[in-house]
Amino acid sequence: MDMSAITIVFALKASVLSGILCSAASHLIPTFSHGAHWLASNAAIIALALPVMRNDAMKRIYDRARKLSKSDLPMLITGETGSGKEILARYVHENSPRNSTGSFVAINCAAIPDNLLESELFGYVKGAFTDARGDKTGFFEIADGGTLFLDEVAEMSLAVQKKLLRALEYQEFYPVGSVAPRKVNFRLVGATGEDIAQMVKNKTFRVDLYHRIHACELTIPPLRERIDEIPALVRYFLDANGREGVVVSPEVMEIFSCYSWPGNIRELKNVVEYTIAVLDENEDLVDVSHLPEGKFDAMNCGILRGENLNLREKERCFKENLVEAALTVCSGNYKSVAKSLGTSKSTVYELVAGKISKLKSPASVDE
């Protein structure tokens, strides 16, 4: 196993259940006190986006998260879909004092219809509405003493946002249909891929709630900005699927490094699992023929497999694909692309022109 990832130790009562999933710097190694339960309920999450610590930006993010975990400040985690926001939120909880006093409770606000979200969060009392035949405990109360993770927090209606703000400020809430407040003590961690600051300007997100949960913000960079983690992630997904002896060809790894990965780690996981599915049992090498058909065609990846390829061409290929991905994220705004990549607009124009010229030239693939 790659020595750049994290070792996670699961402890259950007096015995210790060790699972070396990855290894990393000792200050980034969390110890979970509810080992077997946590592993059983979150195995899918681990497999989806287990952080590997090769990228300096990610190391800084997790180091900052470790420090912030000691406080009770509300936290906002931003990043594209599939980039690992919930994994970071769980890391914060597991490294906080709340790990021993309460649970990590995760809710996807986008997955619950708006008319039901309030009762799911606050619960309700018998008779609150037609189908309320008994009391229901809401997620707020379940998270008491622990951490409440609201994924896609920007999807909440303004009415629910107002009630969430009150719960945060006064540490109390009213179940639906109840006139008696209930005290609650949890740490809120919200996550979103939306631009909440812009939503505040558009008055689709409450400014007071924004400032309340914006006490500390962590932004996870997309996978295309941390391609140095791709080899370790690929290795992990292969091993997790029982293919420890399988290796990936340099050509495939170069394609992975040039691809923009709009679905981030989730998309990479799916691609790796696809290659495993099409491999014969006696095969131990993933080559270009095992990749999903048509998925990488638009990248003009032929340049990566040319016999006369040199390092400068590889570097330019990567830059062109990085700019192309940034243009998609920035809606074609060259100035925004240049700013996000730390370069000039003229460089962006040059790389785009180079990519277009190669796509127009059929001979370029075989050069």
Assigned domain for 173 exists: yes
pLDDT of 91-134, one tens digit each?
999 999 999 999 999 999 999 988 789 888 988 878 767 777 77
Assigned domain for 339 exists: yes
Domain boundary among 288, 317, 343: 288
- What is the structure's pLDDT at 299? 62
Structure tokens at 339: 């700013």
pLDDT value at 140 more than 70: yes
Q: Say whether both 78 and 153 belong to one domain.
A: yes
Assigned domain for 294 exists: no
Range of the domain at 198: 55-219
Assigned domain for 295 exists: no
pLDDT of 282-301, one tens digit each?
889 999 899 999 888 766 55
Q: Say whether both 193 and 254 belong to one domain.
A: no
Q: Say whether both 196 and 313 belong to one domain.
A: no
Rounded CA separation 304/294 (Å): 16
Q: Say whether both 191 and 101 belong to one domain.
A: yes
Q: Say whether both 195 and 317 belong to one domain.
A: no
Assigned domain for 293 exists: no
CA distances from 263 to 48, 259, 260, 269 (A): 12, 11, 9, 10
Q: Say whether both 259 and 208 belong to one domain.
A: no
Q: At residue 37, what is the residue type? A: H
How far, in whole angstroms, is CA 109 from its chain's centroid? 16
Number of domains composing the chain: 4
First-to-final CA distance of the chain: 37
Q: For the whole model, what pTM was predicted?
A: 0.69
pLDDT of 76-91, one tens digit each?
999 999 898 999 999 9
Closest C-alpha among 314, 350, 345, 346 to residue 330: 345
| Average pLDDT of the segment spanning 48-57 | 62
Q: Say whether both 231 and 213 belong to one domain.
A: no
Q: Say whether both 114 and 179 belong to one domain.
A: yes
